[in-house]
Structure 1
Amino acid sequence: MNRSLLLVVCDFLLLSILALARFDVPKDAVIAQDDQKVVSKEVVERISDGENYDDVVAELEATNETLLENLSSDKDDLVEQKLKLEAEIAQRQKELEQKEQEIASKDAVIEGNKEALDLAKKEAQKLESQRKEIERKREELLQSNAASKKELELLAKNLEQAKKQSEELAELKSKKEKEAEAARLELAASVERAKAQELAAAEAKALLIEEKKRSDELIASTAKIDQKIDSLNKGLDGVGKDLKSVGEGLVGVGEKISTVSDDVSSVKEGVSKVEKDVQESVEVQKENFRKLNERQTRSVNEIFTRYEQNKVSLDLIYTHKSGIFQTNRDDKFSVDTILMVDGNFVYALVHAKDSPFRVEFNPRKLVSVTGQITGPKFKEPLQVKEIAFMDDPRIIIVPLYANPQELAKTGIELFNAPENPFLFDDAVVVDVKDGRFGQTKCLRDEKDGRYIEVDEKHFAFLTGAFNPGKGDLVFSQKAELLGIMVNGDYAFHVKNLGSRIHGGSRTLLGSSFQADKTNALLHDLSRNLSGLNKKFKY
């Protein structure tokens, strides 16, 4: 039941109650007649208590007037409420009539829905028959699906086998690709080795031809000496015969003695020539032995020992701007390296990482730089007066104004750049930071001869595994410096250094250091570094 209908019902109940109410006067009630006043018992009691009758009456009249006013006001309110209730009842009656009309329309709708329900019932019966038909077909499909499931399982099994075969083929392909890559590297190394061996064979052949010529000359000279000795023996035999015939004349004896003297002189000359030829042959053999010795490899331990015994330390003390407020900060950079010689030119090569001259990222704002090279075999440090950058600006060359002969007197060994760097395809990599070393294969980059590719896959570690990093030294098997690692895969090739110094990169150190010029140079070199091939940079 909604709210409107409830209000209508309540209104009817209220009207019914009012209609049934009675306002009869009780039988024992005292009714005043004419001007008679009815005094209540309470008033009589108050008069008996000594109060003035008129005062009591006045008070009662005032109270009566107040009550009358209140009753009048209440009557007006009740009349107003009655009017409102009547209006509301009329409104509720209208709403009730509307509800009855709506109920009538709903009954009509229900009647129509009943017909629709009957139709829906018929449709439901039809759908039920269709459902049964679908159920029958479903059973047939289930039976068909069972057979299909078996076929699907068989296909899945075949697919799993095919997938397994595909993975095996992929693994085999990867293995073959690795083998092909290794074969390619080995082939390239073999080509380089074959070229080196061909060159060595040509040199050996030339030496052999020259030696054969000298041997032929020596044999011919020996044959001449034998002939002279034979003639001398014959002369001596003639002398014996002549001595037996002394009586034939002293003149004949004198002539024979003169002949013997001439023969002895010629023998001495022949012997002297033989000694000279033998001496020349010994010198040639020594030279050939020296050249052969140059082609002999050094053991890995021997190469590392030579490095350890002759390494020096490059120390750079510098001041640079640091922090948000760009305050001056003092730092020191030290790295182990070796000294190299080219004629009378002594120098050192180092990687610029962590140094005051780094260019790979965020070049420093330098204020001053001084440097020196120290070593256990030096009585006093060698002062570094200047540095320069190579065509790869990460590599710094440090020239030393020192006499190689004077340095050799200290007992330190000066290393050389290799004349034939790819005579052997193996190289020794030395970790300058932790003092470890290992042997691997190296190959000149096919597109850029300034770099050497170091093969990490074939590393043989002798002092514990390590990853070749920036600044590590790469030696040939003849203990010559092949290069300096610029990343984990490639090394800067030490060759033709004079033509590879970056133009205008000469930087003086010490009191002649120019901060503004050097800082501008570092920024320019950092930009130039971006032009390198990615495989050489990272």
Structure 2
Amino acid sequence: MNRSLLLVVCDFLLLSILALARFDVPEGAIMAKDDQKVVSKEVIERISDGENYDDVVAELEATNETLLENLSSDKDALQAQKEELEAQILERQKELEAKEQEIASRDEVIADNEQVIAQAQEEAAELARQREEIAKKREDLLQSNAASKKELELLAKNLEEAKNKQEELSRLKEKKEKEAESMKVELAATIEKAKAEEKAADEAKALLFEEKKRSDAIVASTEKIDQKIDSLNQGLQGVGNDLREVGEGLAGVGEKISSVTQEVSSVKEDVSKVGQEVSGVKATVAVVSEEVSGVGSKVENIKKEVEETAAVQKENFAKLNERQRQSLNEIFTKYEQNKVQLDLEFTHKGGFLGADKTEKFSMDSIILADDSFAYTLVHSKDSPFRLQPKSRSLVSVKGEISGNKLKNPIPVREIAFMDDPRIIIIPLYINPKNLVETTDMEIFSAPANPYLFSEAVVVDSKESRFGQTSFVRDEKDSRYIKVEHSNFAFLTGKFDPAKSDLVFSQKGELLGIMVNNDYAFHVKNLGSRLHSGSRTVLGDAFEAQKTNTLLSSLSKKLFGLKNKFR
């Protein structure tokens, strides 16, 4: 409400009050009648005090006239003011009507805006809720900010460590660059060596080509000899026909002797002639026999030459095959297609308060053969026969070996420990030749020349990962080979050998089994490397007390190995 409207309302209220006002005469008041004058008590008191009545009356009349004049002037002023106020009231009423119309229109606008106000209230409530959520999020952010500060401190610490590692990696990089330079020199020497080997291979190919020509010449001469033998056979067949004719002639002579006794003399002559002819035939047969024996000796000589040539060619092929390496993928594919799974079920005292607990152990491996002896090798890690961190107190153990290419599982009858007690050998008691004939499984073997190549293929049997690395035999202990190990494989993502991984030569033969991250148990001379008294029978004949005592002694023996082999 503006100021003008307030003024109009106040004027209207004042006029209403004046119009409705009633001036009541006080009770007990004396009213003047018929030009009587009413003298107040104060005047009487003044007269009683000795003042002149006329003076007092004159004073009062003068005062009365003054009051009348004032009243008249006030009345005129009030009348003028009244008229002015009435005019203002009319004007204000018009303004009031206009304002009422404006208020009505505004009421309509307000009514129209009530929905907007309600929506605004809802939005205000939503904003209040969002404000509460923002307050909660602010608290969460404060908490996360504190955690972020801690993480920032940790990141700063990690950054410092990363810087240190970066410096170490820089030093390692410099070292590797130097090693790379030396490796380049070695690579150049290796390339020269490879070229020499390639030249030798070319010479071997040329030699094989010459041998092939010689073999072709021998085969051609053999064909000629076969033709000559065929012609001799035909000649012998003709001699046989002549002998048959002679026999027929002799039969005719016998008939003539028996029927005609008179012609004895002539028959004797004929017989003597026939005898001469027979002796001539015998001489011819003897000559033919000598020729046949000569041909036979020549055939034997040719056969010997052919056998000697085939042996030389076979030896040359064996030498070439010995130096023929397989690719990384070929070796891993061969392993994947021919791997077997060792399953062991064992009971040990590992439950609550030493109660019996039954568990199962599974591990991928391969079947190896040494002549007619088939076996498999595994690392004792996580197996029932583990030695670290503490050997188990076994109650019973049984197991079997199965595979995709095996028709039936092979029961595990017994095991034995090698001179490195972490390596277990499992004899299979099957004929490897029969296994190859009845299945399409390939059986692995130990390399005859393990140091022919300087690189090896390492296979992680648990995660089916593989990689290539270099290796050397240990300078003091030939039972182990040292495999190159990367200290920062977790940063580069490069494959890194680990405990229980299988190490293959580049011909696909088993070199060894990793006993730690740096060294592998070398698979060679296994018969002389068995631990004495370590034979352990599984299944129903399992001896728990003997096995537990053996595991305890093997754990002590493990600590007797050099630190680098542990």
Residue 177 of structure 1, CA deviation: 3.9
Corresponding residue of 1:306: 334
Question: 5+ unaligned residues in a row in structure 2: which ranges?
Answer: 1-166, 225-280
Q: CA deviation at 1:280?
A: 3.2
Do the aligned partners of residues 215 and 513 (structure 1) sit closer, same or farther apart at CA in structure 2, a change above 3 Å counting? same
Which of 318, 321, 331 is residue 359 of structure 2 equivalent to? Answer: 331
Report the Cα offset of residue 384 of structure 1: 0.8
Structure 2 contact 204–316 (Cα < 8 Å) conserved: no
User: Which among 312, 315, 321 is matched to residue 284 of structure 1?
Assistant: 312
AA of the residue aligned to 2:561: L
2:549 aligned counterpart, secondary structure: helix
What residue is the counterpart of 1:473 in the other structure?
502
Deviations 1:234-283 (A, max 9, x none): xxxxxxxxxxxxxxxxxxxx99xx99999999688657644652353134
Cα distance change on mapping 1:268 and 1:389 into 2, 3 Å: closer
**Alignment partner, residue 411 of structure 2:** 383
2:400 matched to 1:369?
A: no
> Cα 1:288–1:220, aligned 2, differ >3 Å: closer, same or farther?
closer
CA shift in 2, pair 1:345/1:209, >3 Å: same
1:291, distance to aligned residue in structure 2 (A): 3.0
CA distance in 1, matches of 2:315, 2:466: 33
Distance 1:197 1:342 in 2: 35
Q: Which deviates more, 383-392 or 350-359? A: 383-392
Matches within 5 A, 1:98-497: 177-179=175-177, 270=298, 273-274=301-302, 276-408=304-436, 409-457=438-486, 465-497=494-526
Partner in structure 2 of residue 510 of structure 1: 539
Equivalent AA in structure 1 for residue 346 of structure 2: Y
Which amino acid in the other structure matches residue 284 of structure 1?
V
Q: CA deviation at 1:288?
A: 1.9
| 1:420 CA displacement | 0.5
**What is the deviation of 1:204?**
12
What is the CA–CA distance in structure 1 between the aligned matches of 2:427 and 2:220, rounded to whole Å? 55
TM-score by length of 2: 0.51
RCO higher in 1 or 2 (8 Å CA, sep ≥ 6)? 1
From the superposition, tell whether residues 432 and 174 of structure 1 become closer, same or farther in structure 2 (CA, over 3 Å). closer
State the superposition RMSD in angstroms: 5.1
Alignment CA distance shift 1:486-1:201 (3 Å): farther
1:107-133 Cα offsets, whole Å, 9 max, x none, are xxxxxxxxxxxxxxxxxxxxxxxxxxx
Q: Work out the CA distance in 1 between the residues paired with 2:211 and 2:496.
A: 53
Percent identity over paired residues? 54
Cα distance, 1:382–1:197 mapped onto 2, change above 3 Å: farther
Shift of 1:178: 3.6
Note if contact 2:397-2:542 (Cα within 8 Å) is conserved in structure 1: yes
Assess, with a 3 A threshold, how the Cα gap between structure 1 residues 384 and 297 changes in structure 2: closer, same or farther: same
Distance across 2 between alignment mates of 1:391 and 1:205: 45
For 2:408, the aligned partner's letter is E
Distance 1:278 1:191, change over 3 A: same
Q: Shift in Å at residue 407 of structure 1?
A: 1.2
Task: Choose 438-447 or 276-285, whichever is displaced more.
Answer: 276-285
Paired residue secondary structure (1:411)? coil
1:415 and 1:275 mapped to 2: Cα distance?
A: 36
TM-score, length-scaled by structure 1: 0.53
Give 3-state SS (helix, strand or coil) of 2:383's partner.
Answer: coil
Of 268-277 and 422-431, deviating more is: 268-277
Post-superposition offset of 1:371:
1.2
Match in the other structure for 1:530: 559
Cα deviation for residue 173 of structure 1 reads 7.2
Q: Is the 8 A contact 1:222 1:274 kept in 2?
A: no
Q: Are the structure 2 counterparts of residues 198 and 494 from structure 1 closer, same or farther at C-alpha, using a change threshold of 3 Å?
A: farther
In the aligned structure 1, how far is the partner of 2:427 from the partner of 2:186? 35
Classify the secondary structure of the residue corresponding to 2:353. Answer: coil
1:58-114 Cα shifts (integer Å, max 9, x gaps): xxxxxxxxxxxxxxxxxxxxxxxxxxxxxxxxxxxxxxxxxxxxxxxxxxxxxxxxx
Report the Cα distance in structure 1 between the residues aligned to 2:389 and 2:330, rounded to whole angstroms: 37
Change (3 A) 1:201 1:354: farther
Query: Does residue 499 of structure 1 match 2:499?
Result: no
Cα deviation, residue 285, structure 1 = 1.0
CA shift, 1:202, in A, is: 11
Q: 1:392 to 1:195 in 2, by over 3 A?
A: farther
Tell me, in whole angstroms, the C-alpha distance in 2 between the residues paired with 1:405 and 1:457.
40
Contact 1:317 1:330 in 2 (8 A): yes
**Cα drift, residue 299 of structure 1:** 1.3
State the secondary structure of the residue aligned to 1:402: coil
The answer to whether the 8 Å contact 2:215/2:309 transfers is: no
Moved more, 187-196 or 279-288: 187-196
Counterparts of 1:447 and 1:185, CA distance in 2: 24
Question: 8 Å contact 1:320–1:330 — kept in the other structure?
Answer: yes
Find the residue that maps to 1:313 and give its secondary structure. Answer: strand
**How many aligned positions are there?**
342
CA positional deviation for 1:317:
0.6
